[in-house]
Structure 1
Amino acid sequence: MYKRILVATDGSKLSQRAVEHTLNLADLTGADVVALKVVPRYPQTYFEGGVALAAAEVARVEKQWQEEAMVAVNAVKSAGQLREVKVKPVTVKSDLIAEAIIATAKRNKCDLIVMASHGRRGLKRLLLGSETQQVLTHSHTPVLVLR
């Protein structure tokens, strides 16, 4: 059925549910898993929501985010090893999260993307946006959304 499943994670409790579902599905189907965490770049300007920092400090913050991302995807790999599911941990640096998820799925020839969603509606969804909605809208790969 599935040969390679991408699971997008940020290490949160909500995304952990998506990870558990993905590992169970991979175990049932014999699929490999690509565990992805997208790491944003530090906002450089006030208009991007950032505070002006020295270049060295920005590099330190981005390095810390990268290390935290590796912890998140390596946790998926460890959980997969317990179930004898092959997991490839991947981090991607991008401000365009949905596009990074879609591109990573395509690059790794995934046949399913699994994501969690807060299930926001109305004004909250409009104001906060939805990376999951963007992936659903633009991906040619099937997407499984968990709430």
Structure 2
Amino acid sequence: MYQRILVATDGSVLSKKAVHSAIELAAAINADLVALYVVPRYPVSYFEGGISVSSQDVGRIEKQWADKGQAVVDAVRQAAQAEGVKTKAVIAHADLVAESIMAAAKKHKCDLVVMASHGHKGIKRVLLGSETQHVLTHSSIPVLVLR
């Protein structure tokens, strides 16, 4: 069936449910797992961030975000390995989350993407956007969405 599954996580409660399901699926079908956390870049222009921040502060903040992301994917790797699932922990640095997920799936030769959806509807969905919806509609490989 599937040989390598990419699970995208942001460390939230909902994404932890998707991680758990991805681990269970990978264990059941003897697939490898790639755990991905996308670290956003710090906004640097006046219009993006609203205030000017020194380059040292930007570096420190981005490192904190990257460290958090590494901790999240390391926890996924530990949980998966406890279930006997071979897992790779991956961090991507980008503002375009959906594109990063699809690029990582391609780079790591994944044949399924597993991710959570917050289930926003109506105007909230339009205003907030949906990374899951973007991956779902633009991915060239199957996407399993969990709520």
Please report the RMSD computed on the Cα atoms of aligned residues, expressed in angstroms. 0.8
1:84-108 CA-partner distances (Å, limit 9, x unpaired): 1111000000000000000000010
Q: What is the match of residue 63 of structure 1?
A: 63
User: What is the alpha-carbon distance in structure 2 between the residues aligned to residue 126 and residue 133 of structure 1?
Assistant: 11
SS in 2 for 1:33: strand
Residue type of the partner of 2:39? V
How do residues 43-122 of structure 1 correspond to structure 2 at under 5 angstroms?
43-122=43-122
1:19-70 CA-partner distances (Å, limit 9, x unpaired): 0000000000000000000001001123223531000000000011000000
Q: What is the match of residue 17 of structure 2?
A: 17
Moved more, 45-54 or 113-122: 45-54
1:116-147 CA-partner distances (Å, limit 9, x unpaired): 00111100000000000100111001000000
Q: What is the match of residue 130 of structure 1?
A: 130
CA drift of 1:81 comes to: 1.4
SS in 1 for 2:38: strand
Residue type of the partner of 1:41? R
Compute the TM-score of the two structures, normalised by the length of structure 1.
0.98
* Kept in 2: contact 1:15–1:115 (CA 8 A): yes
Q: Runs of 5+ in structure 2 lacking a partner? A: none
* Kept in 2: contact 1:32–1:86 (CA 8 A): yes
Q: Which structure 1 residue ranges, 4+ long, deviate > 6 Å from structure 2? A: none
Residues 39, 49 of structure 1: CA spacing in aligned structure 2 closer, same or farther, 3 A cutoff? same
Q: Percent identity between the aligned chains?
A: 59
SS in 2 for 1:11: coil
Residue type of the partner of 1:28? A
SS in 2 for 1:28: helix
User: What is the alpha-carbon distance in structure 2 between the residues aligned to residue 87 and residue 75 of structure 1?
Assistant: 11
How many residues matched? 147
